[in-house]
Amino acid sequence: MRVFGELETVVMARLWDLGGDATVREVLERIQLDREIAYTTVLSTMENLHRKGHLTREREGKAFRYRTALSRAEHTAGLMREALSSNDEDAETVLTHFVGEMSAADLDRLRAVVARRGEGPAGR
């Protein structure tokens, strides 16, 4: 799991906003609502993301339709797992800081998720 570069992050965010499925033109139009950018720049960024395995693609007429390999939630969870596993000695400290900065509403959601996890098969 890797953190995306600046433009890769923008492209992935727009793809996820579009349901994880779009053409270069559709992503370009979304990005152009916020900033000026060339079609070829978006195309090359999406090609790089495809080459790295973050996007799949399927021919659609003369263009390709790209799909994200992971949902936004799956990608974010992977980054969190990586942060926790990068140094087992610091995992508790990382969790302590992370949980310490959570809002009351987020803490309630976390408690609910942990409770559901404990109810799973064999207490997983």
Confidence of residue 31 (pLDDT cuts 50, 70, 90): very high
Is 108 a residue whose pLDDT tops 80?
yes
CB distance 37 to 28 below 8 Å: yes
> Distance (Å, rounded) from C-alpha 77 to C-alpha 83?
10
| Global model pTM greater than 0.85 | no
What is the tens place of the pLDDT at every residue in 40-69? 999 999 999 999 999 999 999 999 999 999
Do the strands 21-23 and 63-68 form a parallel or antiparallel pair, or are they unpaired? antiparallel
Architecture of domain 6-68: Orthogonal Bundle (1.10)
> Distance (Å, rounded) from C-alpha 120 to C-alpha 110?
16
The CA angle 62-56-1, to the nearest 5 degrees, is 150
Confidence of residue 124 (pLDDT cuts 50, 70, 90): very low
